Amino acid sequence: MPKMNLDETDVKILAVLQGDARLTNVELAERIHLSPSPCLRRTKRLEESGVIRGYRADLDRSLVGLGLTVFVEIKVDRHSRRNADGLATALAALPEVVSCCMVSGAADFLVELVVPDLPAYERLLSDRLLTLPMVADIRSNFALRVIKTAGPLALAPAEKSLA
């Protein structure tokens, strides 16, 4: 997928929406110093192009009973496209997985899991992760304290060409 060229106004819209996606179009337009009609057109274009993939609530994990975050490194057994794709599909289907990346290095996948507590993670590990046939090794890293959660992306407008 080609990178979308974002101008300064697009970047402003995205920065404001990352901070508060519940703003009305009029409030958004006021914050970026644009009239509502062009602001709405630009926002719709960003949505339709896939730059804005959706809107969601940012929940306090502890307050909803999900007090344990685990970063899991998983190695694929017998490296093959089929095993990697199978593991990716299995991980994406787990509701406890909030983030998952195929990575380079010692592990093949880095997975962020959120569960209520250590016994819940042990059940997930024993009953689901370790039963996957394409898993060779799993290493678990437990979050002790959250320093920063997924925050706004640092965006910059596209460079203007000198043509």
Same domain (yes/no): 13, 70: no
- Report how far residue 132's alpha carbon sits from residue 59's, in angstroms, rounded to the nearest whole number: 30
What is the tally of structural domains in the chain?
2
Task: Report the CATH number at residue 134.
Answer: 3.30.70.920
Q: How far apart are CA 17 and CA 52, in angstroms?
A: 9
71 and 138 both lie in a single domain: yes
39 found inside a domain: yes
Q: Is residue 66 located within the same domain as residue 108?
A: yes
Distances (CA, A) of 123 to 44, 115, 127: 43, 10, 6
Instruction: Judge whether 160 lies within some domain.
Output: no
Distance of CA 107 to the CA centre of its chain: 19
- 82 assigned to some structural domain: yes
CB 80 within 8 A of CB 35: no
CATH number at residue 34: 1.10.10.10
pLDDT tens string, the chain, 163 residues long: the values are 678 889 999 999 999 999 999 999 999 999 999 999 999 999 999 999 999 999 998 899 999 999 999 999 999 998 889 999 999 999 999 999 999 999 999 999 999 999 999 999 999 999 999 999 999 999 999 999 989 888 888 888 877 655 5
| β-bridge pairing 68-76 and 109-115 | antiparallel
Residue 92: domain span: 62-142
